[in-house]
Every structure is written in structure tokens, then in C-alpha cells.
Amino acid sequence: MSVKDKIILITGASDGIGKTVALDLAKKGAKLILLGSNGTKLNAVYGQLSGVEKDYHLSLECDLSLLNDQSAIEIEAAILEHYGRLDGIIHNAATLKKMTPLIDLETNLWEKILKVNLTSQFIITKTLLNLILKEENGRVIFTSSNVAIQPKAFWGAYAVSKYAVKGMAELFRQELENIHQIKIFNFDPGPSPTSMREIAYPNEDKETLKSLEKLIPCYEWFFSEASNNTNQHYFKFSDFKI
Ligand code: NAP
């Protein structure tokens, strides 16, 4: 089992880790649904996807902070119309916005961050499971962070969202894995040189961080036959010995 011909939705595919993973999976023959809120950035990534006819991939401009049940149904319809099926989701999109003490965090920002990082993933997952559960070896990959394990001051609603995603991923896993041929993973990519990382560590020397390409084998493994039989469901980048 490889990613060739797998149909995979990647959220946050317009930048950072999601963009790097999308470019690689396309190279390996996956059919991608790219999702992001910035149409210009999304189109730029779409244009860089490798060597396939234009309609091989699908690009969906969608602001996850505005997502509701109806828009998730529209995403499902677009995927059905384009491909007729879906093998997996990489829930990679997230927003940090700013580092701040909770006492200073505006309520509307709190709500927006939780919507993008948590609620939208709940809505998309429950809607698209209809499709994924029809496939053999379906995958849903949530994205974690060390602040989901170790509370860190000033990480605000982002940290709260990652705690909650960890719980949600575990619930989906318990409810689905025993009765369906699906794997639900939650992956912490670790410190990686992206715009989000720069918000948290503006003075950090990016050269001290691993390159984004180092994450690629992790995502390929999640979609491989080798990951079918693992009992582990929460992964950190360091688990991969890359
Ligand atoms: P990034 O470079 O800031 O990229 C974030 C992606 O999420 C962008 O493609 C962005 O697309 C998308 N996104 C943000 N808000 C959105 C919205 N409202 N609607 C739709 N898409 C939205 O971040 P990254 O560092 O690659 O992070 C990727 C994932 O890794 C996140 O889940 C993050 O929590 C996790 N992570 C990162 C690190 C790290 O060191 N970088 C460490 C641990 C975990 P648009 O700009 O098009 O909206």
C-alpha cells in the first residue's frame, strides 16, 4: 500500500508543513484535495503539484473559522463529484494568532482559534467519515503539539485546542477502530520552521530546526500498510528515528 492513487484531503495545504507534505504526496501519485483560506497561496501550491493533468487534484478555498455543517456537506459533495471517494484526511490546518496570557485573550479570538483548530475538524471528520469508512485502510490524521501534553503559559487557545484535539482523536479512535478498517492517528511534528513557529519564537535561528522535508516519511508511513497493525496512535516526530 502506497499513497499512489490515494485520495487525501490536506487542510492547511497552502503553507508550512501542509504545503511540503502536499507537494511530496503529489509526487508519489496521491490525488489531493488542498484546503486553505488564502486562495492566492492555495493556487500557487496547486500550480507546483507535480506532473499530472490539471484536474487530478482539487483545490478548495475555505476559511475553517466559518465552517458549518452545510459547508462540510458542500466539501463532501465537491469530493464526491471530483473523485467519487475519499481515503483519508490530514487535519493539518491550525492557527496560533499570538502568544498572550489568557487574561488578555479576546473572546472572539479564543472562539476563532477553537473553531479552526478543533470544531472544524470535528465537523469535517464526522461528515467525511461517510466516505472514508467505505474504503479499505482509511486514515484520519490529526495534528498535535507538545503543548497538548505539557501546558505552557501564553500558548492560549491554541494549547487548549491541541489538548482537546488529543481527546477528540482518541474518542474517534475508540469508537471506530474496533469495528472498521480505519486508523486514527495524532501526530506532533515537533519544532519546524514555519510562519506559525515564528510567531512563538520570533528570534529563533531557523537553521537550528529540522527541514520540513524530514516530516515527509512520517506522513507516508501513516498511509502505509506498515501502520495498519500498530497499536500506537499518538506519535511524536522523535518516534520515527529520522
Ligand atoms: P503554518 O505555516 O502557519 O500553516 C498553517 C496552515 O493552516 C496554512 O496553510 C493556513 O492556510 C492554514 N489555516 C490557518 N487558518 C486557517 C483557516 N481559518 N482556514 C483554513 N486554513 C487555515 O503552520 P505550520 O507550522 O505548518 O502548522 C501545521 C500544523 O502543525 C498545525 O496543526 C500546527 O499546530 C502543527 N505544529 C506545528 C509545529 C511547528 O513548529 N511549526 C509544531 C507542532 C505542531 P491559509 O493561510 O490559506 O489560511
Ordered by where they begin, the domains of the chain are 7-240 (3.40.50.720)
Q: Side chain identity at 64, as an amino acid letter? A: L
- Residues 58 and 241: their CA atoms lie apart, in Å, by 33
Check the CA dihedral 9-30-39-166 and report its sign: positive
pLDDT score for 1 = 59
Q: Which atom of ligand 1 is nearest to the CA of 19?
A: 9
Which stretches does DSSP call E strand in 47-191? Answer: 58-61, 88-91, 138-143, 182-188
158 given a catalytic annotation: yes
* CA 13 to ligand 1 centroid distance, Å: 8
* CA 93 to ligand 1 centroid distance, Å: 4
Is 142 within 8 Å of 23 (Cβ atoms)?
no
pLDDT score for 133 = 98
- Choosing from 46, 83, 158, 163, which is the catalytic residue? 158
Q: What is the pTM of this model?
A: 0.98
Sheet holding 234-236, edge to edge: 58-61, 31-36, 7-11, 88-91, 138-143, 182-188, 234-236
Q: Could you tell me the CA-to-CA distances from 216 to 22, 56, 99, 209 in Å, in that order?
A: 9, 21, 28, 15
pLDDT score for 2 = 82
> Which three cell numbers, joined as nine digits, stand for 242?
529520522
pLDDT score for 194 = 98
- Block means of pLDDT (10 residues each) for the chain, 242 residues, are 90 98 95 97 93 79 98 98 97 98 98 98 98 96 97 97 98 96 97 98 97 97 94 97 78
* CA 178 to ligand 1 centroid distance, Å: 31
Q: Which atom of ligand 1 is nearest to the CA of 93?
A: 7
Residue nearest to atom 9 of ligand 1 (CA): 12
* CA 151 to ligand 1 centroid distance, Å: 20
pLDDT score for 151 = 87
Region label for 199, one of left (φ > 0), alpha (ψ between -120 and 50) or beta (otherwise): alpha
- Cβ of 88 below 6 Å from ligand 1: no
- Residues 29 and 5: their CA atoms lie apart, in Å, by 6
